[in-house]
Amino acid sequence: MFSVRRGDIYHIRGDTGVLLFQPTDETGKAVTDFQATLSVKQDINADDYLLQKICVDGKFDFRPEDTDSLSAGTYVYDIEVHTGDDVQTIGPYKYYLMPDVTRPVKG
């Protein structure tokens, strides 16, 4: 399960997920030439990133291996967007990584 509610991400550890992303300018027009990075940290003051994703073709693609080794918990994330010389940050928001019951069977 992967969902976004009021900016907060809810994600079951080890699940796939896609976050669609389309920035707009101040007039509401879609910006097409941009780079965006989503970063997850333990808390707002942490130095280390737990997870970083690059937006490709308007989406952040989450794979099972992105969260398999992380502990379930409440983290923070933001999205930094570069358009030309401008930099804008969206967030921070909460990133809820929920525990999973079923884990891959190791053979």
Q: What is the CATH number of the domain that holds 64?
A: 2.60.40
Which pTM does this prediction carry? 0.90
**CA neighbor of 81 nearest in space, from 72, 90, 91:** 90
The total number of structural domains in the chain stands at: 1
Establish if 50 belongs to a structural domain: yes
Asked if residue 105 is part of any domain, the answer here is no
Q: What's the pLDDT score for residue 106?
A: 77
Task: Look at residue 26 in the predicted model and tell me its pLDDT.
Answer: 86
Q: Domain for residue 16, yes or no?
A: yes
Structural domain that includes position 56: 2-98
On the question of a cis peptide bond just before residue 92, with omega within 30 degrees of 0, the verdict is: yes
Output the pLDDT for position 107. Answer: 73
Q: What pLDDT does residue 20 have? A: 96
103 within domain boundaries? no
Q: Is residue 79 part of a domain?
A: yes
Which tokens sit at 48? 């280390």
Q: Residue 83 has what pLDDT?
A: 92
Residue 104 in any domain: the answer is no
Q: What b/e readout covers 60-96, taking b as 16+ CB neighbours within 10 angstroms?
A: bebeeebbeebeeeebbbbbebeeeeeeeeebbbebb
Question: Is the residue at 23 inside a domain?
Answer: yes
pLDDT in tens, the chain (107 residues): 999 999 999 999 999 999 999 998 889 999 989 999 999 999 999 999 999 999 999 999 999 999 999 999 999 999 999 998 999 999 999 999 999 888 777 77
